[in-house]
Amino acid sequence: MPEGHSVHRIARQFERNFVGKQMRASSPQGRFAEGAAMLDGREAVSVKAVGKQMFLEAEGDLWLRVHLGLYGAWDFAGEILIDPTIASANGRMGQTNQRGTDLDAPIVDAPILDAAGENSLASIGAPRRARVHVRMSEQTKGLADEGSEWPPPIVGQVRLRLMTDITAADLRGPTACELQTPDEMLASVAKLGPDPLVGDPIENEERFVQAVRKKKAPIALLLMDQSVVSGIGNVYRAEMLYRARLNPHTPGRDVPEEIVRQLWHDWVRLLAIGVETGQMMTMDDLSPTDYRAAMASRDDRHWVYHRAGLPCRVCGTEIALEELGARKLYWCPRCQA
């Protein structure tokens, strides 16, 4: 399930490649044919991500709302502009490149790509094998365009294809893909809990603290309740609770206020790292070697997530796994007693 950082990255990709441009829209699969026809030919005006949802504004007061859900993903093809602030392998900020399939030499400052494809720019959402050429526009200049068709062939069930003259974005498997009026869009956003990257930071924190402190549901459920806080999924939930050494079953109203604030600040921090690197890096203070390993492999970057039965990295106790709210919850019974 894509968590909030992925959706913010997708929105940024649309910002760079679609906003200000006229879009061609189609629904190769047919399930969004009417909506695509409405979007076709309009200019993309703005885009925002709130939690796990993306809202793309088209000229004429029309909004596209997309929720990827468990299986959705966007695949980008063609010329894709890369965010110059993407953190590089060694943590420096600067101009970095996504290695294209036809570029042989590794680029020294390239971000470390995860084997599972979590931070792939070609496909953002549910991890899947990248099948498209992702190249920086500057690098494609003058290069023979080998093996890449334009427009890219339709592969699988593409609900919506958006294109400019040079970039294509294919949406597959979303939970929601619909058009909205401005009022409907605002109503959708109003239902969502605070997102650290949207709106006023102080107001956001207060909303989160108040929402948690008045509920008796376990904190582990509240963190994934999108009306309480936006963008947290199963990975961040488990990791944040471990980082706070908090028992997942603690009712929200019994979590001390300072801990609730600490959770919020941790989410602010982790989300920023996730948006920057494309990965849910939840460990701090790693040595450069450990950092590289952790960026390259999920198994090396989490405290408890996906570690059921393995010894806790801190106390050695077996990490517990239980079902909570129909999702798997990982935690250390000793550190989080």
* Site residues, Zn ion (CB under 5 A): 312, 314-315, 317, 332, 334-335
Amino acid at 271: L
> What CA–CA distances, in Å, run from 118 to 9, 104, 128, 275, 292?
12, 22, 9, 12, 15
Q: Which residue's CB atom is positioned nearest to Zn ion?
A: 312
Cα 237 from chain centre: 14
Instruction: Provide the minimum distance between the beta carbon of 313 and Zn ion in the complex, in angstroms, as a whole number.
Output: 7
CB contact at 8 A, 279 and 119: yes
Element holding 271 (H helix, E strand): helix 257-277
Whose structure tokens read 């999108």?
226
Smallest CA-to-CA distance from 1 within 232, 211, 298 is with: 232
Instruction: Provide the minimum distance between the beta carbon of 241 and Zn ion in the complex, in angstroms, as a whole number.
Output: 12
Instruction: Provide the minimum distance between the beta carbon of 262 and Zn ion in the complex, in angstroms, as a whole number.
Output: 18
Instruction: Provide the minimum distance between the beta carbon of 72 and Zn ion in the complex, in angstroms, as a whole number.
Output: 34
Spatial distance between the Cα atoms of 108 and 336, rounded to a whole number of angstroms: 40
Of 163 and 335, nearer to Zn ion (C-beta) is 335
Spatial distance between the Cα atoms of 27 and 258, rounded to a whole number of angstroms: 48
Of 22 and 317, nearer to Zn ion (C-beta) is 317
Instruction: Provide the minimum distance between the beta carbon of 335 and Zn ion in the complex, in angstroms, as a whole number.
Output: 3
Smallest CA-to-CA distance from 226 within 214, 242, 239, 237 is with: 237
Instruction: Provide the minimum distance between the beta carbon of 300 and Zn ion in the complex, in angstroms, as a whole number.
Output: 17
Instruction: Provide the minimum distance between the beta carbon of 22 and Zn ion in the complex, in angstroms, as a whole number.
Output: 55
Of 249 and 334, nearer to Zn ion (C-beta) is 334
Beta bridge pairs of residue 63: 57, 180
Spatial distance between the Cα atoms of 235 and 216, rounded to a whole number of angstroms: 22
> What CA–CA distances, in Å, run from 276 to 120, 155, 269?
12, 29, 11
Of 208 and 303, nearer to Zn ion (C-beta) is 303
Spatial distance between the Cα atoms of 79 and 162, rounded to a whole number of angstroms: 13
